[in-house]
Structure 1
């Protein structure tokens, strides 16, 4: 059972990070983890070791996401006359270990200088005080507040991404117009849209998969926590056990249960669908008016970048209106890195506004810097407007003592497979009690 759970968590984070750099964490490549993937023609050059899930792009190979990162790395290499050596995770090298397991081991044994980490790993290693406080970087002062909030542990900014990944509802605007429906803001408005679609012969108004339904929960659970001016105090109350995660989560789970009970979500089918692969065909064919996905899917031709209808991407319904859900990974430096000063200089360059502008323009994404803006397609403007207004909820927050994204997804999966809302809330209480016992 333990191996099965590891595999599921590994797949889960692969789905999450797909929206960030098209990472394939579950299994990719045949490169040995400690192989230097850059020809070392000049052995006198300084080396910075980067551990991540993908190797450096090879010549003449098209990989937009990876190429964008490589371009920023090359800026640092040229500026400081050094080489960033990519050390790569592969499942075959680590057998049953997940990417997170390997990162934990390598950081604790100080094996590399720079790491790309998932939120739960950022949380663990930040709590162990093994990661450098990146507020020392000049580029840190330009970061969006959402980045600082998501990756701050015990008051220290321990990881920074190059982009902000936002999840939203992808809507067929033409179908909404056909039935004179306004784009929904609140849970009640969205429920009414589903009722109208159902009554007009749309068998399943919401196309869903087993990974992303938790975004409905996050939007309702944390809308006021992140947008009410008391975020720090409310999270502290959760971490101390003065408040319960289950109390925040219950309304979202009850809402999902109602969507399932009314036939607006096919729970049995959703529980078997992988992200986009299952529900996209009906959405693209105009049979399903609503799906959910991450920002980059609207730009990708293999996802929803080419539709025959008017596409709109909005936030998930909440009591505060349309709410983007943001998930975050980040680059981190080990406090005792062998090449600490050079690694700080490299990361500062990679995260500079100049580098992030190049990255964002190449990948058409939301930059981690508040100074960098890239024109988005019309379909994404409703989601982009909310983020620019600094309105969002976090699906991953390293400052919370219970990991959010993976745990919530797994508990939503239990709901899809017949668990009651009370049983799901008991699972959150158990996770919180375990976290309190560790602290």
Structure 2
């Protein structure tokens, strides 16, 4: 009986308290501020960023950016992993196809084409920073109505010139195709191989500068690329002069074919050129800090390719393309990081670490003195894209294979036949 009286008393007290709260106008639970118990707080989001930038300066710049972001957003943890060279893209595709793709990763033109087919890339068109990109960069970022990546640099490919060696032989930096051939012949006659080239980007970008310049000259590229998309034989024929140029250089010994096939990009080629024994090297401008570190006393600069009768051509790429995995568990968090990465001052840290150019409207130019000769070509109408997003073919990989064929002794006609066959195979419904 006593227990029953206690229960009745407790119920009465509870009802009385509720009545007093109602009369006093107390807030409802939804309107009250309260601390979430520790067990209910959101956990740290872990993002994985996979890329092919592993040079010390690049990695330091990336790590500084990640550190600053994590300080601003302490509930996010980002780790960066890299694989060097062409192997990166093989690893990337294996990870994605096995369902183990990273949240954020770097892609190039050719992997973009593949990943767009299977819906692996998140649409980034909603990023607030998209409008900060230059019109030229934005024209490369939209593909089939979506923005599958954001570029974080404009890479340039150039002719590294050993100015001291040229002066010793009473030669100026070549500006035309004829001057380039003449300079190479001077060194070849002295049993000096004129050109250091690697087995990846060197000769294919030279071929593109020779073959594709007429397509871009005069601003009529859009229509020409549409025609090439409809008829790949037009692209193959456009590349003919470029492959003929490479074949000529190999045939005359201006390039050591056997050595080039074994020369790794941004490693063996730089070591050779840094000895000071070679007059020229073909590779990306981003390698300039590495050359300077290998031989601080080397007097060199980087110039556009002297690939045309009327002057030089700068080959560029809207590059270091960063994408978000559409199948990531943290798509929105990954997009938020890319919004941060593409802010002007943040991006510039990464761009300048690569001796590259900004894809943003501010048009900042590289602070590396060795690449200053490239600056004027960013705006003088004599630059072309190595991989144009409006061209729906994997020209980057196919031109590399074509050059390897020439280095192994194939004729220009054989290479062009294989190149065109590769273009047709890459078309939707092409032969597998």
TM-score (normalizing by structure 1)? 0.77
Q: Hey, what's the Cα distance between the residues in 1 that align with 2:113 and 2:253?
A: 38
Q: Which moved more, 1:354-363 or 1:205-214?
A: 354-363
CA separation of 1:417/1:90 partners in 2, compared to 1, >3 Å: closer, same or farther? closer
CA separation of 1:422/1:361 partners in 2, compared to 1, >3 Å: closer, same or farther? closer
Q: Hey, what's the Cα distance between the residues in 1 that align with 2:266 and 2:102?
A: 35
Q: Hey, what's the Cα distance between the residues in 2 that align with 1:90 and 1:282?
A: 23
Q: Does 1:205 align with 2:194?
A: yes
Q: Higher helix proportion, which one?
A: 2
Q: Does 1:308 align with 2:297?
A: yes
Q: Which moved more, 1:124-133 or 1:65-74?
A: 124-133
Q: Hey, what's the Cα distance between the residues in 1 that align with 2:71 and 2:326?
A: 25
In structure 1, the residue matched to 2:224 is 234
Q: Hey, what's the Cα distance between the residues in 2 that align with 1:54 and 1:274?
A: 15
In structure 2, the residue matched to 1:142 is 132
Q: Hey, what's the Cα distance between the residues in 2 that align with 1:96 and 1:165?
A: 18
Q: Hey, what's the Cα distance between the residues in 1 that align with 2:258 and 2:101?
A: 44
- Asked if 1 retains the 8 angstrom alpha-carbon contact of 2:228 and 2:235, the reply is yes
Deviation at 1:169, TM superposition (A): 0.7
- Asked if 2 retains the 8 angstrom alpha-carbon contact of 1:150 and 1:397, the reply is yes
CA separation of 1:155/1:232 partners in 2, compared to 1, >3 Å: closer, same or farther? farther
Q: Does 1:47 align with 2:40?
A: no
Residue 398 of structure 2, aligned match among 402, 407, 410: 407
Query: Deviation digits for residues 285-312 of structure 1, max 9, x if unmatched?
Result: 43321111221221125x6663534212
Residue 290 of structure 1, aligned match among 270, 274, 280: 280
Matches for 1:386-405 after TM superposition, within 5 Å: 386-389=377-380, 391-405=382-396
Q: Hey, what's the Cα distance between the residues in 2 that align with 1:408 and 1:114?
A: 28
Q: Does 1:82 align with 2:71?
A: no
* Secondary structure of residue in 2 paired with 1:326: strand
Deviation at 1:417, TM superposition (A): 0.8
In structure 2, the residue matched to 1:31 is none
CA separation of 1:372/1:354 partners in 2, compared to 1, >3 Å: closer, same or farther? farther
Matches for 1:251-266 after TM superposition, within 5 Å: 251-266=241-256
* Secondary structure of residue in 1 paired with 2:159: strand
Q: Hey, what's the Cα distance between the residues in 2 that align with 1:96 and 1:276?
A: 14
Larger CA Rg, structure 1 vs 2: 2
- Asked if 1 retains the 8 angstrom alpha-carbon contact of 2:152 and 2:320, the reply is no
Matches for 1:330-369 after TM superposition, within 5 Å: 330-335=321-326, 337-362=328-353, 364-369=355-360
CA separation of 1:363/1:222 partners in 2, compared to 1, >3 Å: closer, same or farther? closer
Deviation at 1:364, TM superposition (A): 4.5
- Asked if 2 retains the 8 angstrom alpha-carbon contact of 1:110 and 1:336, the reply is no
Deviation at 1:167, TM superposition (A): 1.5
Q: Hey, what's the Cα distance between the residues in 1 that align with 2:353 and 2:304?
A: 24
- Asked if 2 retains the 8 angstrom alpha-carbon contact of 1:123 and 1:399, the reply is no
Q: Does 1:329 align with 2:327?
A: no
Q: Hey, what's the Cα distance between the residues in 2 that align with 1:258 and 1:54?
A: 32
Q: Hey, what's the Cα distance between the residues in 1 that align with 2:363 and 2:71?
A: 23
Question: How many pairs are equivalent?
Answer: 386
Q: Which moved more, 1:278-287 or 1:259-268?
A: 278-287
In structure 2, the residue matched to 1:99 is 91
- Asked if 2 retains the 8 angstrom alpha-carbon contact of 1:312 and 1:382, the reply is yes
In structure 1, the residue matched to 2:19 is none
Q: Which moved more, 1:229-238 or 1:366-375?
A: 366-375
Q: Does 1:132 align with 2:122?
A: yes
Residue 111 of structure 2, aligned match among 112, 117, 121: 121
Q: Hey, what's the Cα distance between the residues in 1 that align with 2:272 and 2:232?
A: 45
Q: Which moved more, 1:405-414 or 1:137-146?
A: 137-146
What CA RMSD, in Å, does the superposition of the two structures yield over aligned residues?
Answer: 3.3
Q: Hey, what's the Cα distance between the residues in 1 that align with 2:273 and 2:100?
A: 47
* Secondary structure of residue in 2 paired with 1:325: strand
- Asked if 2 retains the 8 angstrom alpha-carbon contact of 1:296 and 1:365, the reply is yes
Deviation at 1:142, TM superposition (A): 2.2
In structure 1, the residue matched to 2:3 is none
* Secondary structure of residue in 2 paired with 1:275: coil
| Structure 2: stretches of 5+ with no match in the other structure | 1-39
Q: Which moved more, 1:397-406 or 1:169-178?
A: 397-406
Q: Hey, what's the Cα distance between the residues in 1 that align with 2:225 and 2:41?
A: 49
Q: Hey, what's the Cα distance between the residues in 1 that align with 2:89 and 2:307?
A: 38
CA separation of 1:247/1:75 partners in 2, compared to 1, >3 Å: closer, same or farther? same
* Secondary structure of residue in 2 paired with 1:232: helix
Q: Hey, what's the Cα distance between the residues in 2 that align with 1:132 and 1:282?
A: 41
Q: Does 1:376 align with 2:374?
A: no
* Secondary structure of residue in 2 paired with 1:324: strand
Query: Deviation digits for residues 149-172 of structure 1, max 9, x if unmatched?
Result: 444422433112322222211001
CA separation of 1:66/1:171 partners in 2, compared to 1, >3 Å: closer, same or farther? same
